[in-house]
Amino acid sequence: MITEDNDNNGPASILLIDDHPLLRKGVKQLIELDSQLLVIGEASNAEEGITQAKQLEPDLILLDLNMPEINGIETLKLLRDAGVASRVVVFTVSDNEEDVIAALKAGADGYLLKDMEPEDLLSNLNQAALGKMVISERLSAMLAQALQSNRKRTGPDISSLSPREKQIIKLIAGGLPNKLIARKLNITEGTVKVHVKHLFKKLNLRSRVEVAVWAVQEGLG
């Protein structure tokens, strides 16, 4: 599996999980135009995708939401339960608020719509491969509103966070991956990962996107 310094270690590896062969072919052909990205596997269903994800350990998984038998949300949960550490970006036609929220709560690292421009898809995939959060532009405002309205009143108080945790949240909100956060704070990447894991648990959140939105709402972003 390629590290976050993809620019120094060759192209970022990508696994496509989508039940439409024609779409997989089109996306693969598009990705082939970008020397920083490389499709190393394709799967047409959840079971095949999970097997390949564990075997290939791709940097990035592009996951369809609407698949027969096991949908994208359940597939994402199964990937995380199986210990797959790859970044997972949902790639779908659905701009439904419930779908976006469900994907992020299940641990997605991004949510992109299939009607986006090809060059925008490549740009977002490169950003995602570097550890940054990606979400289609028109969904950002809706996402912030939805998370704000759904936030529990008994949720975590900002005062419960330590100064170090607040620093890390600000950097996550800025889209920085763990390696760059470690450099900025002069601590090890392992220490950052421990902090991030504790933050997810403390804030009852599942993804860096949710942490970033929460940070903006609390004035930390």
d(CA 129, CA 159) in angstroms, rounded, equals 33
pLDDT, tens only, 180-219: 999 999 999 889 988 888 888 888 777 777 787 778 777 7
- In the predicted structure, residue 160 carries a pLDDT above the cut 90: no
The beta-carbon contacts of 164-168 under 8 Å, at least 24 apart in sequence, are 164/195, 165/195, 165/198, 165/199, 165/202, 166/220, 168/192, 168/195, 168/196, 168/199
* Mean pLDDT, rounded, of the chain: 85
Task: Calculate the dihedral angle through the C-alpha atoms of 149, 203, 208, 16, rounding to the nearest 10 degrees.
Answer: -90
CB distance 28 to 57 below 8 Å: no
Q: What pLDDT is stored for residue 193 in this prediction?
A: 87
- In the predicted structure, residue 39 carries a pLDDT above the cut 80: yes
d(CA 43, CA 24) in angstroms, rounded, equals 9
Place of tokens 């439409």: 20
Q: What pLDDT is stored for residue 147 in this prediction?
A: 61
For the ranges 11-20, 36-45, 145-154, which has the lowest average pLDDT?
A: 145-154
pLDDT, tens only, 49-76: 999 999 999 999 999 998 988 999 999 9
* Full-model pTM: 0.67
- In the predicted structure, residue 151 carries a pLDDT above the cut 60: no
CB distance 122 to 30 below 8 Å: yes
What average pLDDT does range 127-141 have in this prediction?
A: 84
Does 8 or 176 have the greater pLDDT score?
Answer: 176
Share of the chain above pLDDT 70, in %: 88
Return the CA Rg of the chain.
Answer: 17
d(CA 157, CA 86) in angstroms, rounded, equals 31
The beta-strand segments (E) located in the chain are 12-17, 37-43, 60-63, 87-92, 110-113, 134-135
